Amino acid sequence: MSHEIDLKNYEIRTDLVLESIENSQNKIATTTETFGKIKVTSVVIDEESSKLINKKIGSYITIEFEDVTDSENKNEVEEIFIKELKKLLNHLNIKDSSSVLIVGLGNEKSTPDSLGPKTIDNILVTRHLFLIDKISEGLREVSALNPGVMATTGIETSDLITSVVREVKPSFLIVVDALAASSIARINKSIQITDTGIHPGSGIGNMRKEISKENVGIPVIGIGVPTVVESSIIVYDTINYLFKHISYIKENQNKNKLIFNRTNYLEKIENKNLTDKEKRDILGLIGELSDRDQKNLINEVLNAVNYNFIVTPKEVDFQIDKLSSVLASGINRSLHDENCVK
Amino acid sequence: MSHEIDLKNYEIRTDLVLESIENSQNKIATTTETFGKIKVTSVVIDEESSKLINKKIGSYITIEFEDVTDSENKNEVEEIFIKELKKLLNHLNIKDSSSVLIVGLGNEKSTPDSLGPKTIDNILVTRHLFLIDKISEGLREVSALNPGVMATTGIETSDLITSVVREVKPSFLIVVDALAASSIARINKSIQITDTGIHPGSGIGNMRKEISKENVGIPVIGIGVPTVVESSIIVYDTINYLFKHISYIKENQNKNKLIFNRTNYLEKIENKNLTDKEKRDILGLIGELSDRDQKNLINEVLNAVNYNFIVTPKEVDFQIDKLSSVLASGINRSLHDENCVK
Amino acid sequence: MSHEIDLKNYEIRTDLVLESIENSQNKIATTTETFGKIKVTSVVIDEESSKLINKKIGSYITIEFEDVTDSENKNEVEEIFIKELKKLLNHLNIKDSSSVLIVGLGNEKSTPDSLGPKTIDNILVTRHLFLIDKISEGLREVSALNPGVMATTGIETSDLITSVVREVKPSFLIVVDALAASSIARINKSIQITDTGIHPGSGIGNMRKEISKENVGIPVIGIGVPTVVESSIIVYDTINYLFKHISYIKENQNKNKLIFNRTNYLEKIENKNLTDKEKRDILGLIGELSDRDQKNLINEVLNAVNYNFIVTPKEVDFQIDKLSSVLASGINRSLHDENCVK
Amino acid sequence: MSHEIDLKNYEIRTDLVLESIENSQNKIATTTETFGKIKVTSVVIDEESSKLINKKIGSYITIEFEDVTDSENKNEVEEIFIKELKKLLNHLNIKDSSSVLIVGLGNEKSTPDSLGPKTIDNILVTRHLFLIDKISEGLREVSALNPGVMATTGIETSDLITSVVREVKPSFLIVVDALAASSIARINKSIQITDTGIHPGSGIGNMRKEISKENVGIPVIGIGVPTVVESSIIVYDTINYLFKHISYIKENQNKNKLIFNRTNYLEKIENKNLTDKEKRDILGLIGELSDRDQKNLINEVLNAVNYNFIVTPKEVDFQIDKLSSVLASGINRSLHDENCVK
């Protein structure tokens, strides 16, 4: 069928470098550590891999975890996040005395896009105390900004940030944003930290200019959580799980009357791969398509009927509450002496 | 394949009677009227059809429309909603002097579930004025209640409502709730009005007991808007659009180099149906499954890997704002003399 | 002048029994303990004193403290609050296994009146878990209700509560409300706990029927914080401080060139009292009036010109946030085994 | 007594030029027009009067009105506000094609200080459409900014605004802020419009640098509503009403048994003035003080005991809602062709 239908090349939308790597066919080296139920994957994108996956050169850390509305999970994620953020600050040679401006991107009136502003609400701001010399040992000079979104300010967000950076002159920038994912598994269940800043098309708000060391002139740490996903990705993911599921069942159906056991089912099927012949049997012409063509076809169909919604889990309010609390508290504890932050 | 895999029968979750009818193979007579871009479908479920689709006996009106964050659409929807609500009040022989208690189900802290409470916020309440005889001509006796959800009150919502009904003794009840849909097309784009009340499993909050004339003792009008959908339904819908899409393209590809024209594409493909042979060619074993088995399989897979999320569009905050405004204003204008409500 | 002008007897509005005692000329025995900057005053109103100050027979505990937006103060107040609430539960012979319904009175959309609803938002509710037997050791059966206010429900709040009590059948009731004070010093700086419930005219919302053991049939613990005060009380308080101030200055002006030293000034002047002659000299006819007549005159004037506003400090949002957190956390820790509540 | 007590000169805090004029003993010409229950007072402060009352040279318009939670009042105020704002735009020779940046000062998390941010929420922003040339006839280029407050950003607000002005390059600036009043009568019942910008000490948030044509380089229109008042002003105002009240009663007590009739009482007593002798009789030493010394004394006392609270009416949430709606809608309708704004 791929020779019959001319599929436009829809860009699979993801802000997570980890997903770009997964989505590409290319081998890019990543390092993974596991802490209980939390997985941390680090990757350095060099010039060569940058071309392969179209992501900026720099360091990317992805923390993957389970539901943070569970307070035990939440606390564990915060500790790992602090460890990784401090490691990156160190790697960038940022000193304890360096001042920082923290920016919360997104629209606080739109729950799935409110991660940035809600994080800023709980940032410990100190710059005004430095201005009047009323500052205690152990505190760094921190300022914070909620620039709003272009639809409500009429101002390109990156221009607004650049003009404030010129005024405030921080040593570095931290930018917090809600992201788009290319996998249902990571929605509200991962944090990406990077020293490459924030890029066009990134995030939900769809900024048009990047915020990075190149155009702001100081290091920019981007911190993001994917909070939304396109419907087409849900469909594509499901078709993939479908293949693995059927493959697993075929293998196991003679051994065991109980067709499948849900405990850790995902792990069990993760490595099941069907041959092209099997795929064609199961999903016909669709199964015959390459991954990329499958995605393009699904995108084409959903866009054609106007149903390629970008969606978020119905529990988004509770999840964003907890995630913004993890980020704000984690940033506060990473930037200041922990004893000063309580 | 259907004889190889034992699919559990997952209930397709929908609170819209229109979708139950579509999902069933049965013929149930509906009446449809179109007003500009708005479609109104009425159906009376009698004893026989009640058994077929497992919905309560009574009248159901579904209003389908386009995005209400467009203010012109919003105003048109409100007018149609008023017309249909008044018609139902008439049909139930509810007099202008009959008192009413309006209940907003759902959790106001959870955006996709906040339709009920947000509607109540804008209801014109008058009962306290009747208590002290300070009431002007043209106003009906209206009281209102946000009972909260069981997770935050610890009280079964229907019990709470019943106890308040016993105290306030209204002549009839209006219950507003956010619903679950079984089609992505109707999310935040339809209103269902019914005289059958609200039922177990209905809504997002998952009440366990119904609220209906049978157990409350007075007529209960249920007004709902589907605000969420299960991921599995998105997948199923997409596969169906895929069939129609491919069928359309096959028919048209020789005639026209421009493979497809998106203008009103949905309408163009709506009646395309593939033969079973074609379905099997395109989607293999999956295409061979009956609709019900396809749904069951998708459900089984997504539940097995724990990704059968219930999702809502990322614009949910803005949509709920407008929808609750349509409902509150529409209810106010239907219950009182319009001149008193301004 | 008192014989020339016929002053109507304006009732000084206070919900704090401590202030009723202060405002009356009568001697009623109170017990006071001090913990750092926190003062706890207990009083048992018996039949005789009930008549004198027109407050219900029962126990009243008032905790007075400094600004809870300071987190150290906040933590100390919470500990004292827990101690006093547990003491009262004990005194009422309420067992660890007794179920409770907690009610938050007031309008959550009106900041100074939102203490009750905001407290309820953070109450640990368990009754629904008891219903399905999913409950761990150390947890009490707790349900919670935000009944709203009559202006938005059309339902007399006490009727609504009574009907829910009949349904839920708790062993006792805790009712949280924002109160009116008769002294500027106590606004957002005191908590009253009482076993007499909540009374007509109490609170900001102005309920018309009481909620007490007599009409609900179970013990009712009222917990309140004064969040508003009438303008006339600010004037009266100031005139009194004026007398004390002038008296202090007169005494000290010859000894000391530095007229006054603000450190702990309030304590220094607290016991200064002018003779009637001195009062007349300083404030003329006004100084000659009895306390009650002074209050009545101020009230009369402000009411006559329509400026007897009820006011709240401009920091009310931050104060209510912290106060509701103290109450919710304190109630949770008093009702359940502390280890279960974290 | 004035020679005995050394009163420090407390500055009476007001942001309303009208009150500065009233508080001063100087004659400054004002023009007053009345439209139903709305009073509009205009004054041009020239060099001479600027020195007398310490306000900037320029035009000031004050609109005084009754409670805007009454929708009829609200609509009338909006019409007058539009008329006066358009007049000022005209007076400043601002063309229909001139671009504007609208800034909402204040803290949206603090109700009495949230007028600016809440107004911005409803401003029709168009600059981003101009950037992409998607603009219809009749719309002006408008951008908007909520800069936050220094306590939460760590950045001097005027610096932040200046840096954004440099970036966005609007032709003029509109700054909306909540103000402090020096009279209880004007709280939430007046709007001041001025071409002099916003000044140090102005507003609730207490900015330290002014925002005016001098330091921003473009015309700055300041729009403010007094939402708070110091307790000491309530006391001072009341003492004044007390004088007038007693004076009125003395005059009328023989004629009429019914001591006073509240209808329009304020108007009736407004012109009552006591002689110094009478004042001394009524209020003793206090009555003998000059207005300024009376204010200073009250301030001194309340500050000494730490009770000079800044307060706001308890209905502040509802009033700010309506006031911000009047301002946003009024600004939108003044800046664009009314037909485009609906």
Prediction ipTM score: 0.89
Amino acid in position D293: D
Give the model's pLDDT for residue C256: 47
- Which pLDDT does position C46 carry in this prediction? 93
Beta-sheet pairing, B190-194 with B310-313: unpaired
DSSP conformational letter for C131: H
C279/chain D closest Cα distance in angstroms: 8
Contacts of B among chains (3+ CB pairs under 8 A): A, C
**Letter string b/e over residues D119-158, b meaning 16 or more CB atoms within 10 A of that residue's CB:** bbbebbbbbbbbeeeeeeeebbbbbbbbbbbbebbbbbbb
pLDDT of residue B259: 46
| CB-count exposure of residue A98 (10 Å: 0-12, 13-18, 19+) | middle
Lowest mean pLDDT of A46-60, A324-338, D87-101, name the range: A46-60
Q: Which of C84, C92, C103, C89 is nearest to C191 (CA)?
A: C84
pLDDT tens, residue by residue, D275-318: 777 777 777 777 777 777 887 888 888 887 777 889 999 999 99
Question: Is the model more confident about B124 or about C262?
Answer: B124
Three-state SS at B34: strand
- In this structure, CATH architecture of domain B2-227+314-341: 3-Layer(aba) Sandwich (3.40)
Residues of chain C positioned with their CB less than 8 A from the CB of D286: 242, 282-284
Q: Name the residue with tokens 């002048």.
A: C1
Question: How far is CA A38 from each of CA A41, A74, A77, A228, C68, rounded to the nearest angstrom?
Answer: 10, 11, 7, 21, 37
pLDDT at C240: 81
User: What are the pLDDT digits (tens) for D66-114?
Assistant: 999 999 999 999 999 999 999 999 999 999 999 999 999 999 999 999 9
Q: Which of C128, C155, C166 sits opposite B127 (nearest CB)?
A: C155
Structure tokens at D129: 């459409």
Cβ distance D145 to A151 less than 8 Å, yes or no, reads no
CA distance D258 to D252: 9
The better pLDDT of the pair C304, D138 is held by: D138
DSSP result, A154-196: -S-HHHHHHHHHHHH--SEEEEEEEEEES-GGGTTSEEEEESS
Measured between beta carbons, the chain B residues lying within 8 angstroms of C154 are: 125-129, 141-144
In terms of phi and psi (left: phi > 0; alpha: psi -120 to 50; beta: otherwise), the region of B133 is left
* pLDDT value of position A209: 82
Tokens (6 digits) for B328: 């509150």
Instruction: Give contacts of D262 with chain C, Cβ < 8 Å.
Output: 303-304
Average pLDDT over residues A251-278: 62
Average pLDDT, integer, range D181-194? 91
pLDDT the model gives residue B141: 95
- Three-state DSSP class for residue B223: strand
Between B133 and D332, the higher pLDDT residue: D332
Query: Residue B164: which of C128, C144, C163 has the nearest Cβ?
Result: C163
Does residue C332 sit at the B interface (CB-CB below 8 Å)?
A: no
Total-model pTM = 0.91
102-121 in chain D: CB under 8 A from chain A: 109, 120-121
Q: How many beta carbons lie within 10 A of that of residue D8, not counting itself? A: 10
Residue extents of the structural domains in chain D: 2-227+314-341, 233-311
> pLDDT value at position B203?
61
d(CA D254, CA D191): 42
Q: Is B215 on the interface with C (CB under 8 A)?
A: no
SS3 C167: helix
**Cross-chain Cβ contact C128/B168 below 8 Å:** no
CA closest to B162 among chain C residues: C167
Mutate to test the interface with B, among A234, A250, A267 (most CBs of B within 10 A): A234
Structure tokens, C331? 């109630």
CA distances to A116, D303, D309 from A106, rounded to whole Å, are 6, 43, 36
A90 pLDDT band, cuts 50/70/90, is very high
CB contact under 8 A, A314 and B315: no
Please indicate if any CB of chain C lies within 8 Å of the CB of B166: yes
How far is B281 from A4, CA to CA, in rounded Å?
14
Q: Is A151 in CB contact (< 8 Å) with chain D?
A: yes
| pLDDT for residue C248 | 75
Rounded mean pLDDT, A128-146: 87
Listed in sequence order, the residues at least 6 apart from A182 whose beta carbon sits closer than 8 Å to its beta carbon are: A12, A13, A14, A16, A19, A20, A23, A229, A233
Backbone dihedral angles phi then psi of residue C92, each to the nearest 5 degrees: -90, 5
Which of residues A289 and D83 earns the better pLDDT score?
D83
Q: Is the pLDDT of residue C228 over 90?
A: yes
Lowest mean pLDDT among A76-85, A284-293, B7-16, C8-17: B7-16
Minimal C-alpha gap between C151 and chain D (Å): 13
Question: Contact B125/B329 with Cβ under 8 angstroms?
Answer: no
Cβ-contact C180, C204 below 8 angstroms: yes
Neighbours of chain D (3+ CB pairs under 8 A): A, C
C9 pLDDT tier (thresholds 50, 70, 90): low
Q: Do C234 and D231 touch (CB under 8 A)?
A: yes
Higher pLDDT, C29 or A296: C29
Q: Is D126–A156 a contact, with Cβ atoms under 8 angstroms apart? A: no
Joined tokens for residue D213: 């044509």
Minimal-distance CA residue of chain B relative to C102:
B153
At residue D240, does pLDDT exceed 90?
Answer: no
Query: Which residue in this structure is represented by tokens 């436009």?
Result: A8
Which of D109, D144, D166 shows the shortest C-beta gap to A154? Answer: D144
**Helix (H), strand (E) counts: chain A:** 14, 9
H/E element, A84: helix A71-91
* Rounded mean pLDDT, C124-139: 84
Of A141, A155, A159, A208, which to mutate for an interface test with D (greatest number of D Cβ within 10 Å)?
A155
Could you give the CA distance from residue C158 to residue A124 in angstroms, rounded to a whole number?
43
For residue B96, give every residue at least 6 positions away whose Cβ sits within 8 Å of its Cβ, in sequence order, or none: B140
Find the CB nearest B242 among A109, A185, A301: A301
Decide if D280 and C284 are in contact by the 8 Å CB cutoff.
yes
Q: Which residues contact C268 (CB under 8 A, 6 or more apart)?
A: C248
Which of A265, A269, A313 minimises the CB distance to B310?
A313
What are the residue ranges in chain B where pLDDT is below 70? 1-13, 134, 200-208, 252-267, 269-274, 342
Q: How far apart are CA C88 and CA B301, in angstroms?
A: 55
CA-CA distance, D280 to D288, in Å (whole number)?
Answer: 5
pLDDT at site A286: 74
- Decide if C127 and B154 are in contact by the 8 Å CB cutoff: yes
Q: Nearest by CB to B312, which of A235, A298, A311?
A: A311
Question: Strand, coil or helix: what is D246?
Answer: helix
- Tokens in use for A237? 């993911």
Mean pLDDT of C25-43: 91
End-to-end CA distance of chain D: 62
* CA proximity to C26, closest of C40, C43, C38, C10: C43
Q: Does C278 touch chain D (CB under 8 A)?
A: no
Distance CA A126, CA A142 (A): 5
Whole-number pLDDT of residue D110:
96
- Joined together, the tokens standing for residue D219 give 């015309």
Q: What span, in angstroms and rounded, lies between the C-alpha atoms of B244 and B260?
A: 13
Rounded alpha-carbon distances, angstroms, from residue B69 to B39, B189, D256: 18, 11, 63
Q: Which chains would you list as touching C if contact means 3+ CB atom pairs under 8 Å?
A: B, D
Is D274 touching C (CB cutoff 8 A)?
Answer: no
Furthest C-alpha separation in chain D: 77
Looking at the complex, report in whole angstroms how far the Cα of residue C339 sits from the nearest Cα belonging to chain D.
Answer: 33
